[in-house]
Every structure is written in C-alpha cells, then in structure tokens.
Structure 1
C-alpha cells in the first residue's frame, strides 16, 4: 500500500468505486470539532483562535517546531488544560467541564510512563483492573492486544527487559485497551532510533486501521508526519497555518514558512512581470533569470513574490538546456553522497546557493560531477509554486 492510498482509505464512502475521504465529502460531520480555541498563560498566547475539523478514523498529525502550540492543543483535547476560550466537541458532545477520566479519550505520552514493577501484561491491563472489569474479560482483551502489537510472547517480561520499540508498543496497547474513541499521541516515536522509528511508523498505521480509532499525533518530525498522516495541520506561533493531505502540503505549500519547514526547498525572490490566468512570469535578480510557472495568482503588478522549487525537481547537467526558460547556471561548491541520492550545492553568479538532489540510479552516478564544475540547472514549468507570503 502506498502512502497516498493510506490517506484515502480511512472511513470513506464509495462513488463509482472511487473512495472519497470524509473530509472531502460535502456535509460530512466531523468526529472532533475544535472551535475558536485559545489558550493563554498570562500574557503569552500558546494557542491562538484555532478551528479545526477532524473526521472519524483519521490519523491526523499536528506538525510544528518547539513552542508552536501543538502539545498545548493536545493537552486541551485530553482535558489536562482548560481552554481560555472556544470549545471542543468529540462525537458531537461538548467537552466543557468534562474531566479527563470521563472523556472518550486516551493519551500516549512520549516517555511511555510504564510501571517498572509490573509485567507487560499487567501494564496493559492496569486501566481495566482499575475499572473493575471481570478477570476473564481482562485476560481476553490483554491477549488480543498483545497479539495485535506482536508481543504475545513477551507478556510476562518487565519493561526493563524490552527494547525501545517493544516498550513503545506496550504503551500503545495500554492506551488502546480501554477502546477510546480518540487516541492522542505526543511525539510517540521520538525516543526510537531512526531505523526503528521508520519500521514502527508502518506498524502504527496498520494498528490504527485495524481498530478504526481516530488518532491525533503531535510531532516535530516532518518525515514522520508525511508517513503517518491522512492529513497534516502545520502549526506556527499557536496557529494552524495550513491543513491538507501530506502530498499537498509538500507540493503546494501556502507560505514560505510551510515550504521551508516541510522538507528542503529553494526560494527565489522576484517580481511579477506577467500574470495570466494559466501562467505567471517572474523576473528574479538573485537568479539572473526569468521563470515561468503554469498557474496564475492573485497579486498586484510588480509585486514581490517567492518562487519555491524542491531540490529533487531540478535537473543538473553540463550541457546548456534546450528549453527557453526555467534554467540557470552556476558552479558546484559542495557535494554530499547520501547513498540513495547525492546532494549538490550550486552557487550562482549572484552568490546565491541552490540545493539539488539527484537519485543514484547506478553506482558512481555522483562521480559524473565534481567540485567547481560549471553546470546548468533546469526544471519543468509545473515543478515550482509561487508564494505571496
């Protein structure tokens, strides 16, 4: 299953065998509704008038840097913090005044917070035992959950006898065993190493799809959000600045902040010199060239804008391109071999550096270029976007 298929699979209706996600369905009722929520700590505004709809069975990611307000918003959803204004509705019920333990919500913390003196099975069963669930049902549900997270053979171990990835799955099982309608995850994979984190991301997707629970995940890791999410809400200074499916956030950022925060990007400042309904022409002094983009924008004549293009969209060559537009020349200043791809830093005559990434389809592909080579960079008319903010 591809990541784009993953984003389309969550609770949707079918029209002519094409699955339509709930957030694209006109009139669909959101499962989680955040209305004009603000949270202030004294004079500091941590969450600033956020409104957001999240739909049943979504795996929604709140993505942002430190201090962006994402964890504060998560704590408000859990009931650990009270909003200064606004309201939260879960499955149509206003959560105002509802204590955390009475909400249809559970939260998984980054630290996992496992009880070191209890076995894996007892850690998972803890919440059910506190509620007085019958012993036979507790055992049945714990066994089911252990099998789901592939830890059935480790139920009698203590947390200190587990790897980081195994502890993460125990914490997830404990969070899910009470069958919450909404699971909140605060940097759930942050304590894992890179390889294990990548493996666990797909396990998390599979578990979420099996259970059909709505997930809201907080993360600062762009790759993690792109892998996990059906949709992403990018946060900055207490505000959600863009909400969209992962590929749209990456390919069509709505601001310089989003373009720079999500992935790597080259930004060229320039002025609009021609704005047609289906294309726009930009003159950039720092690039020493004119660029064409195959869509129009709403802006004033000669307005300063930024053209954004991702490094992997750029072709690097020793030969001058045959195309009339959308090419520049420069000199290779740095090369980084990353295994699956090579990264080139190319310096233009203006002194601006342009980042180019090229996949290494064959061995020694990067050896075709070396330091101080004069090269030409080119891209297609539909490879870039124009940003006015």
Structure 2
C-alpha cells in the first residue's frame, strides 16, 4: 500500500463557531429592551451572533425583528440593555460611527446617479481618495456581476439588478457587520430564489457577518446558518434551520415554520426512548421515539410534518401512529400533491406526496377513504 501523503490526508472538518465551546461571539445582544411609551417592542432579548454567520431574524409583522435590527444599526436607542460588536460596547455609539452598514428593503438608490456613482456615494462622503474609490467600486461591481452595467441608471435595471446595486453600495464600505431588512421582498418568486443563492455565495466569499430580517420562512431556511424565531418582542427559539424545522420547541414555532399537523393527547407511558400518548383525535395511540419531561397524564401536542405521513388505500400493520379518514381536498402542485384528510373525530390532516412518476392513472383523489401512518421518529412532542 502506498504511503504517499496524498492518500493519507484526513479531510478537515470545519466546526461552526456557535458549536464550539467557549467561542467568542462577534455580536452580543445583552438583555435588550425597547419601549415606545407603554408598548414593549423588544422584551429583554439576549442573542450571540458569531463571526462570518448569516443569521436570520424571522418573525411575523409586529414581532420586534425590525426594531431589533434598527437598534443594531444605531437608528433606535435601547430602553435598557447593551449591544457589543467585536467586543466594543456600541449601545450609545451613533450609527455613522459603528462598523455596520444597512441595506433597506426599498434599496433607496439615487435615480439621477449611475450604478457606479450610487455605489461610490458613501466612500466619497467619507473623503476616500478617488483612485481608491474607483478600485473598490470596480471590485465590488464585478463581485455582484454588474461591472458591465456601471454606467446605467437605476430605471434602466431590473429588480434583481437594483437589489445587487444596493448590496454593492452596502458592501463597498467593508463593514464588519451588514444588516439586511427584508432584502429580497421586492423580487418575484423565481428571482428571489435565484438571488438567495447569490447572497449566500457572496457572503461566504467576503466573510462578512450578515444579519437578515425576514418574515419569509422559506427564505430564512435557505439563507441562514442559524435562525432566531421572534414573537411578541422575544426570541422563542435559536437554532440551525433543520433543527428549527425538525425539532421546534413550541407549538408557535412548529406552526410558524412550514406546515405541520398537531395531534393532541394524554401521556400514558414514558420510557427512556419512547413516549406513548392516547389521542382521541386519531382514535388511537401516538408513539414518539424520545422521552419528555412532564407530569403524569399531562396533555401534550405531537407535531408531524405533512411530508412525513404515508397515505394509502391499504390498512398499515401497526398499533400506533396510524389513523384513517376521507380525502376532502386534493391539489396537484407539479413536484408534489397536497391532500387534506378529514378524520372521524373531525380533525383535518394535511399530507404531501412527491410526484415521483408522471403516471396519474392510479393517483388518490377526492372522497376516497384512505389510511395514514408515520414513524415514531418522524414526530416530536410539544409541551408548550
């Protein structure tokens, strides 16, 4: 056997900073509260964001995400608490003195200036020498693939191109932290999806820490290294996208992220790696392959994602996690089909099935009686 080093090199595994014990956060939000009169927009939020993260603050309208972003930028002053960036307390520092730049949803481009002049505007205001301005503007425009459009004005650009001009203008000042407020909200669905991957690649290439505010769950799942789910001024869960989706820590998170079926029941048995729940909604037993901490006979919810449920005309051979009903709604969506099934209890269950073949001759459809089943490892118990 050859002893050549090329056959013996071990592939290095990069461990994200937030998983490293003792890693130092780049942004520290410490017990931040913001009140507007009697209304509390952000309530005692603490959050650590690490170097080179693309962190998403996700929440509905009025959840406090944009207010938190504006406090990071310095446009709003906290009622209480501290904000540290790269170890320096920024709580009372003016926006223009922070190592931060912000990209707004509206883009706010100057209509009378060319792409090149729009991007250069902030550098010229800071008195950067013309030669360096030209070099930095050309570099960032090439990076966002707009170098060939540098002499055009905003009205001559598409929505996606204007978005990239705004991004280039925010990045050309080389901030330590870039804040993006609903950055893709003005784009149509297809362009938004394409731009998400461009944004990920650009952030990775530049190595700048991004904090993105969005209300779009799919966008957050696509972009983020980690997601902070916000509700009523607080953060309900902070986790990587797959953890937020597969292991929500509350009914709110489970229902807010994607689609979910929630079955209510009473805990009747608990072992180290199994919890058994009696549910009138499915007229049977629910089994989950993890233990929970709860009082005897506690009422809980079991969350099951629609894609985790099997649907068939044949009764499954199982004593738990199975039920039956009638298809009340059916939608063909191209890549998948969506079914709504009414159970005998009146509970409605949503199921999605991938359309792996083009043949639809034997496809399930309206008013058919069907059986549903799922694995114990496909669901999670929620106690709050």
Q: TM above 0.5, one fold? A: yes
The Cα of 1:116 is off from its aligned counterpart by 0.3
Asked if 1 retains the 8 angstrom alpha-carbon contact of 2:78 and 2:91, the reply is no
Counterpart contact for 2:282–2:322, Cα < 8 Å:
no
1:288 paired with 2:283, answer yes
* Superposition TM-score, scaled by structure 1 size: 0.95
Q: How does 1:69-148 map to 2 (within 5 A)?
A: 69-148=64-143
Separation of aligned partners in 2, 1:353 and 1:122? 56
Asked if 1 retains the 8 angstrom alpha-carbon contact of 2:105 and 2:182, the reply is yes
**Aligned counterparts, 1:1-16, within 5 A:** none
Match of 1:271 among 266, 273, 277: 266
Deviations 1:280-319 (A, max 9, x none): 0001112211110000000001101000000000000000
Which of 322, 333, 338 is matched with 2:328 structurally?
333
How far apart are 1:17 and its partner, in Å? 2.2
1:302 equivalent in alignment to 2:263: no
Say if 2:115 and 2:150, in contact at 8 Å, map to a contact too: yes
**Equivalent of 2:148, from 153, 169, 181?**
153
Distance, in Å, in 1 between the alignment partners of 2:39 and 2:280 is 40
Q: Is there any run of 5+ residues in structure 2 with no aligned partner, and where?
A: 1-9
CA contact (8 A) 1:337 1:366 kept: no
Deviations 1:69-120 (A, max 9, x none): 0000000000000000000000000012210000000000000000000000
Q: 1:78 to 1:366 in 2, by over 3 A?
A: farther
Alignment partner, residue 315 of structure 2: 320
Asked whether the equivalents of residues 78 and 106 of structure 1 are also in contact (C-alpha less than 8 Å), the reply is: yes
1:162 to 157, 164, 169: 157
Deviation at 1:132, TM superposition (A): 1.1
User: For residues 35 and 184 of structure 1, what CA distance do their matches in structure 2 show?
Assistant: 18
TM-score using structure 2 length: 0.96
Q: How does 1:161-240 map to 2 (within 5 A)?
A: 161-240=156-235
Q: Distance in 1 between matches of 2:217 and 2:298?
A: 31
Distance 1:188 1:289 in 2: 46
State the distance in 2 between where 1:80 and 1:131 align: 19
Pairing 1:59–2:54 present: yes
The corresponding residue for 1:17 is: 12
Following TM superposition, the consecutive aligned residue runs of length 4 or more in structure 1 with deviations greater than 4 angstroms are none
| Map of 1:30 onto structure 2 | 25
Q: CA deviation at 1:323?
A: 2.3
Q: Distance in 1 between matches of 2:154 and 2:121?
A: 14
1:44-84: per-residue Cα shift (whole Å, max 9, x none)?
00000000000000000000000000000000000000000
Once the two structures are overlaid, the 10-residue window that deviates more, 257-266 or 359-368, is 359-368
SS of 1:368's equivalent in the other structure is coil
* Separation (CA, whole Å) in 2 of partners of 1:205 and 1:367: 41
1:355 match: 350
| Aligned counterpart, 1:11 | none
1:375 aligns with 2:370: yes
* Residue in 1 that maps onto 2:254: 259
Q: Secondary structure at the match of 1:60?
A: strand
Alpha-carbon distance between aligned partners in 2 of 1:286 and 1:231, rounded to the nearest angstrom = 34
Do the aligned partners of 2:57 and 2:211 also contact (CA within 8 Å) in 1? yes
Over aligned residues, Cα RMSD in angstroms?
A: 1.0
Q: Deviations over 1:95-148 (max 9, x none)?
A: 122100000000000000000000000000001111111111111111101100
Residue 212 of structure 1 deviates from its aligned partner by 0.3
Alignment of 1:244 with 2:226, yes or no, is no
Separation in 2 of the partners of 1:198 and 1:298? Answer: 40
Asked if the contact 1:360/1:366 (under 8 Å) is kept, the reply is no
